[in-house]
Amino acid sequence: MDYQSLFEQITRAANPAALGGGHVVGHTPAPTTTDPTRFGFAVADLTAQVCGTGDWQVPFPIQSLSKLFTLAMVLASDGDNIWSRVGKEPSGSPFNSLTQLERDRGIPRNPFVNAGALVLTDRLISLTGHACEALRTFLRKESGNPALNFDMRIARSEQRHGHRISALAHLLADYGRLDNPVDTVLRHYFWQCSLTMSCHDLALAAGFLARHGLRADHSRLLTCSEAKGINAVMLMGGTYDAAGDFAHRVGLPAKGGVGGGIVAVIPGRGTLAAWGPALDRHGNSIAAVTALDTFTTHTGWSIF
Ligand code: GLN
């Protein structure tokens, strides 16, 4: 594969200045990570060789991308038991919908909407004693980046402003779906969202999903069928109420976050990570979706 010319095409197509529009999320001024002209893209193969273009080594807040990894950690311990607490269906609703959680009587539609993520974090607290630290340790190992860390300003700012996610946590508690105190679950959730990683780190960290559950060192994190299950649920819900449009354009399982990152998996071949802070109305990065679309269109490496 001639990555050089492919990267040039991707950079041209996904150039944020040319795409325009969108909004950037961030209560705290963080000029590097909220500058809408930023753009990065990385590809990792099954042997953890990674290359990229643009701002592919600049760390940004992973936000909802953290849900992918908390799900993997919980599945690695609990196996299929977790699916009695959280669904596997597409949400068709915004990622922070309160009405959907109420209609579903406290069983979140899937692990990638905010209510689902809170249930996973709650379980990870019970399993590890300290969910966000366990997640940081996991991600440092999987990405090979020992410097990967939380952004305290983001965690504190979301803690102050996160009224809707707090409402979701209280609703879950009202239905008896949380084992730990609401405040504890929220604190760990905000901190996990504030972890900052680059496209380089993310493409490596998600590698086990392309290797059918195996880490880069060939040790097993998940069974083949658990890894398949995560990829399937990602395809259905990883980009929220735009999952249909995303599957149509890109044709890969993927998870997005409001930090502007998207991680996509090509099972049996590798992983992709793209980043651009400007978001569409569903909370997905405009530049990252365009970059992934360009990649699969030019390589034919989609699952369809
Ligand atoms: N911290 C964000 C929130 O809870 C994460 C959501 C996201 O990335 N989609 O709203």
Atom 2, ligand 1: residue with shortest CA distance: 63
**Cα of 75 to ligand 1 centre, how many Å?**
21
pLDDT in tens, 228-245: 999 999 999 999 999 999
Q: Is residue 53 part of a domain?
A: yes
Would you say residue 95 has pLDDT above 60? yes
Number of domains composing the chain: 1
Q: Is residue 8 part of a domain?
A: yes
pLDDT in tens, 262-286: 999 999 999 999 999 999 999 999 9
* Residue 28 pLDDT class (50, 70, 90 cuts): low
Closest atom of ligand 1 to CA, residue 257: 8
Closest atom of ligand 1 to CA, residue 158: 1
**Cα of 272 to ligand 1 centre, how many Å?**
21
pLDDT in tens, 189-221: 999 999 999 999 999 999 999 999 999 999 999
* Residue 30 pLDDT class (50, 70, 90 cuts): low
Per DSSP (E only), the strands in the chain are: 40-45, 50-54, 60-61, 149-150, 195-197, 254-256, 261-266, 270-275
Q: Is residue 304 part of a domain?
A: no
3-state DSSP call for residue 206? coil
Closest atom of ligand 1 to CA, residue 96: 10
3-state DSSP call for residue 169? helix
**Cα of 85 to ligand 1 centre, how many Å?**
20
Q: Is residue 211 part of a domain?
A: yes
pLDDT in tens, 150-159: 999 999 999 9
Q: Is residue 249 part of a domain?
A: yes
Dihedral Cα 27, 31, 35, 41, nearest 10 deg: -110
Does residue 195 contact residue 136 with C-beta atoms inside 8 Å?
yes
Nearest to 121 by CA among 159, 171, 64, 164: 64
**Cα of 64 to ligand 1 centre, how many Å?**
5
Q: Which residues of 184-217 are buried (b: 16+ CB within 10 A; e: fewer)?
A: ebbbbbbbbbbbbbbbbbbbbbbbbbbbbbbebe
* CATH, residue 274: 3.40.710.10
Q: Is residue 277 part of a domain?
A: yes
The domain of 174 spans 3-299
* Residue 25 pLDDT class (50, 70, 90 cuts): confident
Q: Which residues contact 30 (CB under 8 A, 6 or more apart)?
A: 61, 151, 153, 154
Pocket of ligand 1 (CB under 6 A): 63-64, 95-96, 114, 158, 165, 193, 257-258, 283
Closest atom of ligand 1 to CA, residue 165: 4
**Cα of 115 to ligand 1 centre, how many Å?**
10
> What's the CA gap between 302 and 266, in Å, rounded?
7
3-state DSSP call for residue 39? coil
pTM of the predicted model, to two decimals?
0.96
Pocket test for ligand 1, best of 258, 280, 284 (most atoms within 8 A of CB): 258
Determine phi and psi for 131, rounding to 5 degrees. Answer: -60, -50
250: tokens are 């890109």
Closest atom of ligand 1 to CA, residue 117: 4
> What's the CA gap between 244 and 92, in Å, rounded?
9
Nearest to 115 by CA among 62, 63, 189: 189
Pocket test for ligand 1, best of 60, 62, 93, 96 (most atoms within 8 A of CB): 96
> What's the CA gap between 186 and 161, in Å, rounded?
12
Pocket test for ligand 1, best of 23, 93, 114 (most atoms within 8 A of CB): 114
> What's the CA gap between 262 and 241, in Å, rounded?
15
Mean pLDDT of 28-48: 86
Nearest to 2 by CA among 176, 61, 234, 10: 10
Mean pLDDT of 43-58: 97
**Cα of 67 to ligand 1 centre, how many Å?**
10
